[in-house]
Amino acid sequence: MADLTAKKINKLIEEFRQTGKEPEKLVVGYKTYARLMTEDKFAEKVVPSLENSKERLYKKLKIKLVTEKHYFEIK
């Protein structure tokens, strides 16, 4: 997932929705997340959750960080 961009994430989310499922969260490796946060298009859409100040949301989807370096999954 070294070449993951905000544009690709949006496309993957849309493909996930086309399967008939609604995504609940994005599971992201910590290095992938750090690299994505350097991209303005992604960073502008990441906001803190109103329910829990430690959680972050991307387009209303929870972001869960995992200890794997380069990882991305939509659940």
In a domain, 21, yes or no: yes
Model confidence pTM above 0.75: yes
pLDDT at 6 over 70: yes
Number of structural domains (the chain) is: 1
Inside any domain, residue 45: yes
Q: pLDDT tens for residues 45-71?
A: 999 999 998 999 999 999 999 999 999
Q: What is the mean pLDDT of the chain?
A: 95
The verdict on residue 33 lying in a domain is yes
Asked if residue 12 is part of any domain, the answer here is yes
- For residue 11, tell me if it sits in a domain: yes
Residue 62 resides in a domain: yes
Could you tell me the residue range of the domain that residue 38 belongs to? 6-74
Identify the CA nearest to 64 among candidates 12, 23, 27, 22. Answer: 27
CA angle 66, 70, 71 (to 5 degrees): 55
pLDDT-based confidence at residue 3 (cuts at 50, 70, 90): confident
- Is the pLDDT at 1 greater than 70? The verdict is no
Q: How far apart, in Å, are the Cα atoms of 4 and each of 17, 48, 54? A: 19, 22, 24
> Which residue in 49, 44, 58, 66 sits closest to 9, CA to CA?
58
